[in-house]
């Protein structure tokens, strides 16, 4: 599981290198909708908070490895260093949800967000799509 999600994260982030530099502000106000879950997920990746990262990942993203093994593997792999190490200092200036669509059955969602970042002295904005699924009454990011 840990290796599986790490490979998926690396692959996903390699498609959008600047997105790998995301730093999210606090989750805010206890919101549990798809957009809040996407923000929490990226923040966990940036902070190398493997437990939260796995808790916010869909079961299909995890590949069936026991949670404890996956978390240990993630922590040992220094996910934050792998995703963000070469970028340098990054600060999220703004996270704007552009669109949040919940599927007809209420068990899938797509979130499009604009992330405005400061990378060193440069400013950059990127848009990122997040697929989410409802599992056990909670939104999970589906890689």
What is the DSSP code string of 64-86? T--HHHHHHHHHHHTHHHHHHTT
pLDDT of residue 75: 84
pLDDT of residue 90: 67
pLDDT of residue 15: 40
Q: Are 119 and 21 in contact (CB under 8 A)?
A: yes
pLDDT of residue 26: 33
pLDDT of residue 22: 35
Q: Domain spans of the chain?
A: 2-141
How open is the CA angle 138-52-26, to the nearest 5 degrees?
90
How open is the CA angle 132-21-16, to the nearest 5 degrees?
65
CA nearest neighbour of 113 among 46, 36, 56, 61: 36
pLDDT of residue 67: 85
pLDDT of residue 20: 34
Could you tell me which CATH number the domain at 2-141 has?
Answer: 3.10.450.50
pTM of structure: 0.71
pLDDT tens digits in sequence order for the chain, 143 residues long: 556 666 666 555 444 433 333 333 333 345 689 999 998 987 787 677 899 999 999 988 888 888 888 888 888 876 655 665 556 666 667 778 899 999 988 999 999 988 787 777 888 888 999 999 999 999 999 98
pLDDT of residue 104: 85
């Amino acid at each position: 599981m840990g290796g599986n999600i790490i490979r998926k994260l690396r692959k996903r982030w390699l498609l959008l290198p600047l997105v790998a530099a995301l730093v999210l502000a606090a989750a805010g106000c206890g919101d549990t909708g798809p957009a809040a879950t996407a923000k929490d997920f990226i923040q966990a990746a940036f902070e190398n908070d493997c437990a939260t990262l796995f808790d916010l990942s869909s079961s299909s993203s995890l590949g069936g490895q026991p949670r404890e093994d996956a978390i240990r593997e993630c922590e040992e792999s220094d996910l934050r260093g792998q995703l963000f190490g070469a970028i340098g200092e990054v600060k999220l200036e703004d996270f704007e949800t552009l669109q949040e669509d919940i599927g007809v059955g209420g068990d899938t969602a797509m979130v499009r967000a604009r992330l405005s970042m400061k990378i060193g002295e440069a400013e950059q904005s990127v848009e990122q799509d997040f697929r989410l699924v409802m599992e056990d009454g909670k939104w999970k990011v589906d890689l």
